Amino acid sequence: MTRKNIRFPLSIEQSRPGHTGFSLPSKTIGAVNEIPENLRRKSTPGLPELSELQVVRHFTNLSTANYSIDSGMYPLGSCTMKYNPRINEKTASNPKFLNIHPRTPDKFAQGCMSLMYELQMCLKEISGFEQISLQPAAGAQGEYVGIRMIRAYHDLKGNHKKTKILIPESAHGTNCATAVMCGYQVVPVKANERGILSLETIKEHCAAGDIAGIMITNPNTVGLFEEDIVKIAKHLHEVDALVYCDGANLNAKLGLTRPGDAGVDVMHFNLHKTFTTPHGGGGPGCGAVGVSARLQPHLPTPILLKKSDGSFEWDTNRPSSIGSIKDYNGHFLMMVRALTYIRELGPEGIRKISRDAILLANYVRVRLGEAYHVAFERPCMHEVVLSDKKQKGHGVKTIDIAKRLIDLGIHPPTIYFPLIVDGAIMIEPTETESLEEVENFCLKMLQIAAEAEESDAFAKYFAGAPKTTPTTRINETKAARDLVLSWKEL
Ligand SMILES: Cc1ncc(COP(=O)(O)O)c(C=O)c1O
């Protein structure tokens, strides 16, 4: 899908005096005039004056300028941009779920509480943890809750010398931010030549007795399974340190292996990545956490319990809890969507998610493995990391490949992350894409690799790309650091 290289005029630029989308009956105008003089505006608010048709066209045109998962493949590694099935939206828009007030007394909210309880049970079964809290609003908040609980565990035991957290160098930035926010010092851990953590390195780091825990992403952010996770967890427990697992990549393990069984003490789920609730834009999310028995007492309060008569209640009597971290027990409609997805697929369907995600990522790895440098030459999990090593010699870098992809109608993969791979191109096809879509993506990537070898390739294809979008190549650093979102009349 290529979008036209046109600039949409802003609504304020289309404004003409007297254009309006409604006409108020004179009775209403009379009512407006009854507003006391001191409360009335002294001047007009300067809103654009547009007809209804202009407004409809304006927003419809703007929406076509957006690339979205509904318009094409979105192979952003680590972000897991899956299709959000419409059945989830249908269930979440049931007025009985939609209109319930968050302060509804428990006796009138038993249906919603039973849904939350069932989701907790499903997540428990999928992950192997003792207990679940659905409170956190996003993956990053789930991480924060997890490390706060690890801190509460050590504080209760008087382990005041444990001031450091081990974090692999390939980790997502939120891991380090979380550890620091919880008062820990970050100790970066290098991966071995196979791209994973080695037990020996972990042992060396733990020798001084000041390690409170480790934050592991598994599969890690280069798409490789941490094969020594069981041994690493065992060693950490031997030195009274705990294991946090970043669950952002859980979509590679569903029904295949359970972090709780591997010795992990706490993990956040990204319901939006693994269980197809909507993504991004800062909207409501759910970063549920699962814990082992060690951390159960520290879970956020309240905890949802099922009583012997089958009814549900919120348990607030939890003296060792880290407290409440999200108002109204989290974002309920995200839970409705996630449970719909889990119930729709059932155990076999859930397992198939990960199998298909892994298969497609390996398809990409093999299909592009000659034209591009593959960071780690071995089977991957649900994502694969390539780099621009072979193209750089022709003057074509990762950023140029990504921008050229846009001109060929495809959203680029994640680039320059993880930081440990120079010029990284991180591709996650996800299981919701068909083989045909993934092959189409591969063909475009192969076309770009071939173009990069042509003489004068940079000037021909890459300089200034993307060229087919409303905004062409921008200075991304300036755009991120010097954000100006106000409009000024020229
Ligand atoms: C590996 C990893 N961990 C944590 C997060 C944070 O999750 P969220 O965006 O839900 O806060 C992300 C998000 O991209 C991630 O990729």
For 69-90, what is each residue's pLDDT tens digit?
Answer: 988 999 999 999 999 999 999 9
Atom of ligand 1 nearest to the CA of 287: 10
pLDDT tens-place string over residues 202-248? 999 999 999 999 999 999 999 999 999 999 999 999 999 999 999 99
pLDDT of residue 414: 97
Distance 290 CA to ligand 1 centre (A): 16
pLDDT of residue 44: 80
**pLDDT < 70: residue spans in the chain:** 1-6, 24-32, 281-282, 489-490
Distance 145 CA to ligand 1 centre (A): 14
CA distance 454 to 461: 10
Atom of ligand 1 nearest to the CA of 273: 10
pLDDT of residue 6: 63
pLDDT of residue 31: 66
CA-nearest of 57, 48, 46, 51 to 11 is 48
pLDDT of residue 5: 54
CB 382 within 8 A of CB 223: yes
CB 136 within 8 A of CB 288: yes
Mutate to test the pocket of ligand 1, among 76, 78, 277 (most ligand atoms within 8 A of CB): 78
Give, in order, the Cα–Cα distances in Å from 149 to each of 224, 316, 354, 398, 450.
Answer: 27, 17, 29, 39, 51
Distance 80 CA to ligand 1 centre (A): 10
Ligand 1 lined by 270 (C-beta under 6 Å): yes
pLDDT of residue 1: 44
pLDDT of residue 227: 96
pLDDT of residue 27: 64
pLDDT of residue 46: 82
> Domains, the chain, ranges and CATH?
11-64 (no CATH), 87-343 (3.40.640.10), 353-481 (3.90.1150.10)
CB 134 within 8 A of CB 383: no
Ligand 1 lined by 421 (C-beta under 6 Å): no
Residue nearest to atom 14 of ligand 1 (CA): 79
Angle at 72 between CA 54 and CA 278, to 5 degrees: 80
pTM of the predicted model, to two decimals? 0.91
- Number of H-type helices and E-type strands within the chain: 17, 13
Ligand 1 lined by 79 (C-beta under 6 Å): yes
Tokens 């809103």 appear where?
47
